[in-house]
Structure 1
Amino acid sequence: MTATTTPTSSALDAQATADLLPWTALADEIEELLQQLKNSSSVAVPPRIVMPVGKDGSLFCMPATDGQLAMTKLISFTPGNAGTDRPTIQGDIVVFDVATGQRQLILDGPTVTARRTAAVSLLAARRLAAQPLGPLLIIGAGVQGSAHLQAFAAGLGTREVWVHSRSSASAQKLVEQAQAIGLQARQVSDLAQAARHCPLIVTCTPAQAVVLNEAPHPQAFVCAVGAFTPQMVELAPELCHHFLQHGQIVVDTEDAGHEAGDLLQAGIDIAALPTLAEVVQQNWPRPQAAVLFKSCGWGGWDLAATRLALRQHLAAIDK
């Protein structure tokens, strides 16, 4: 290939990637993709490949296309990096033009993962939370805790945040981040009391053990994002069954059937549960009872984020 025909593309760092993915626009793009799935065969999202590497680590490969662009996310997940200066998730997303095969963009993989995960939670909360204004309880003060704080503040108008973490220093750091953007925020130690008070709850821990045991607020919207393998867990089985009997459980995609550790360990028939796509496509009325939204991740969320990022990137170039 000669220099004149070599495709050119930009490799963006974490901040540049985040700048292309504003929260509300990203949630809207995810909703648009779900609507598109109803009437179009151009969207293809093969099952992700997960290859075990090292001690407890995994290598994820997640391709997808909408017929116009094709992308693949290649990231490593290294739990042993927790508590060190190295992130637990590292990698990139590479974007190609379907018509020409040219590489168009390289995005920071962990940034896309964090933002699209929180934006999916935001979309689910917009549709399913009985009391979307909160207060919001965040359990786990890492990358996803920060992403959900920003997403819910920007997209739901959340103004009050409670934070619980096994690390007091991490919790205080997230509290200070919330206060810096004008929110009321506090660190809490009594998790059961906080769960009963807050109608919005996000669990985003390393999912090595149960962190939420008791039935929360009667109109709670609980978004569980930490557990995305059969071995991982954040919610007690009894709590999952409480939602099944007294409220509603919604999963992000059908892939939860072999990934949602919380529900699998509770012995719940995941295949019988509605997905976020059904909620969007059928335009569900907002529930007034408690809802558990179980999020495991899906390449389609990355596809939606990639579409938005590429549009924003090309628009900036054209200016």
Structure 2
Amino acid sequence: MNTPHSTPVAWLDAAATAAALPYPALADAIEALLRDDSVTVPPRLIQPLPAGGSLFVMPATDTTVAITKLITFVADNPARGRPAIQGDIVVFDARDGRRRLLLDGPTVTARRTAAVSLLAARRLARHRDGPLLIVGAGVQGRSHLEAFAAGLGVRAVQIASRSRASADALVAHATALGLDARRVDDADAALADCPLVVSCTSAQAVALRARPRPDAFVAAVGAFTPRMVEWAPAVCRHLAATGTLVVDTRDADHEAGDLLQAGLDVGGLPTLADVVRNTPAWQRARRADGPVFFKSCGWAGWDLAAARCVLAAHGH
């Protein structure tokens, strides 16, 4: 019930949240956020749960908007017919503290993660039209497929998954979007055909052991804790020696499982903000040739960008 001085809160369900977050506009909002010096994002709290899952508490603010993301992550939930990520994002007015929006947490997580990869690909990929290889056919596989089709114009996609049924379902979705799509059963072999690669597995074990093409752009999404991994350590070391490594934020210094398990100095790598702002750190790190490996771990700033995008779409 609203108090006499309260304002009704806009509660957006999954469909309404998705409709307010088109991928190209969301990527633009993320780029704008990375240029905004007023943004403050403290370290996220990760609370272990008794059965092996985690509770994430992720606040962020700028001069006008404050958000807190509250989600749970339980890796084996899909096997029990439940989503791996559940929860909400509460959006407040940073000046007077009013609640303004309640957004569907899993939808924002899926879309903002794909939009971050889209922004990185816009900036770093040499062959933006693909073909695209997606390894992992879950929620992130679907969101990245949609984001790269809408934002880069990708028309051909190959999909690999441990589950043939999941891969076939994503192929059917891609076909319905008008893409040339097919399932591949050997992700390592498919790397030779695809200059765009997205790995978004459950990251419970190494999924890729072959080297990407020298002209490839890779968005590695699945591993977002030190213990998670998708890419073999030897491949990561090869990429560090021959290409360009970029992390999403400095939080990756202690979260980028693929790179940490390869023994790499993650703290010395440029961030996406360095790329967007063309900082000296980025100018020193960039190579004219070789593959680009973008490691995404997640950050509440991306959720703040999504809240700003929704507020703009609703005319606030």
TM-score interval (norm. to shorter): over 0.9
State the distance in 2 between where 1:286 and 1:303 align. Answer: 31
**1:64 aligns to what SS in structure 2?**
strand
Q: 1:160 aligns with which of 151, 156, 163?
A: 156
CA contact (8 A) 2:244 2:287 kept: no
Corresponding residue number in structure 1 for 2:75: 79
State the distance in 2 between where 1:235 and 1:72 align. Answer: 31
Cα deviation, residue 62, structure 1: 0.4
State the distance in 1 between where 2:301 and 2:114 align. Answer: 14
Q: Which amino acid aligns with 2:27?
A: A
State the distance in 1 between where 2:226 and 2:136 align. Answer: 20
Corresponding residue number in structure 2 for 1:300: 301
Note the 1:181-260 alignment, pairs <5 A.
181-260=177-256
Corresponding residue number in structure 1 for 2:311: 310
Note the 1:118-129 alignment, pairs <5 A.
118-129=114-125
State the distance in 2 between where 1:306 and 1:2 align. Answer: 22
State the distance in 1 between where 2:189 and 2:256 align. Answer: 26
State the distance in 2 between where 1:245 and 1:2 align. Answer: 59
Corresponding residue number in structure 1 for 2:5: 5
**1:83 aligns to what SS in structure 2?**
helix
CA contact (8 A) 1:129 1:286 kept: no
Q: Which amino acid aligns with 1:33?
A: L
Cα deviation, residue 85, structure 1: 2.1
Q: CA RMSD in A?
A: 1.5
Corresponding residue number in structure 2 for 1:177: 173
Quickly say closer, same or farther: Cα 1:2–1:146, change in 2 above 3 A.
Answer: closer
State the distance in 2 between where 1:193 and 1:184 align. Answer: 19
State the distance in 2 between where 1:81 and 1:2 align. Answer: 35
CA contact (8 A) 1:259 1:296 kept: yes
CA contact (8 A) 1:141 1:164 kept: yes
After superposition, the C-alpha distances for 1:266-288 in whole angstroms (9 at most, x for unaligned) are 00000111111000101878954
CA contact (8 A) 2:243 2:287 kept: no
Corresponding residue number in structure 1 for 2:131: 135
Cα deviation, residue 3, structure 1: 3.1
Identity among equivalent pairs (%):
60
After superposition, the C-alpha distances for 1:115-168 in whole angstroms (9 at most, x for unaligned) are 000000000000111111110000000000000000000000000000000000
CA contact (8 A) 1:65 1:71 kept: yes
**2:79 aligns to what SS in structure 1?**
coil
Q: 2:262 aligns with which of 237, 261, 266?
A: 266
Cα deviation, residue 102, structure 1: 0.7
**1:245 aligns to what SS in structure 2?**
helix
Cα deviation, residue 7, structure 1: 2.6
Corresponding residue number in structure 1 for 2:23: 23
- Does 2:50 correspond to 1:54? yes
State the distance in 2 between where 1:227 and 1:133 align. Answer: 25
Corresponding residue number in structure 1 for 2:146: 150
State the distance in 2 between where 1:15 and 1:229 align. Answer: 29
Cα deviation, residue 9, structure 1: 0.6
Deviates more, 1:278-287 or 1:298-307: 278-287
Cα deviation, residue 216, structure 1: 1.6
Corresponding residue number in structure 1 for 2:41: 45
**1:94 aligns to what SS in structure 2?**
strand
After superposition, the C-alpha distances for 1:81-134 in whole angstroms (9 at most, x for unaligned) are 122321010000001111221100000000000000000000000011111111
Corresponding residue number in structure 1 for 2:274: 278
Structure 1, unmatched stretches of 5+, are none
TM-score, normalized by length of structure 1?
0.95
State the distance in 2 between where 1:162 and 1:60 align. Answer: 32
Q: Which amino acid aligns with 2:312?
A: R
Count of paired positions: 311
State the distance in 2 between where 1:225 and 1:155 align. Answer: 18
- Does 2:102 correspond to 1:101? no
Q: Which amino acid aligns with 1:274?
A: P
TM-score, normalized by length of structure 2?
0.95
**1:6 aligns to what SS in structure 2?**
coil
State the distance in 1 between where 2:101 and 2:314 align. Answer: 9
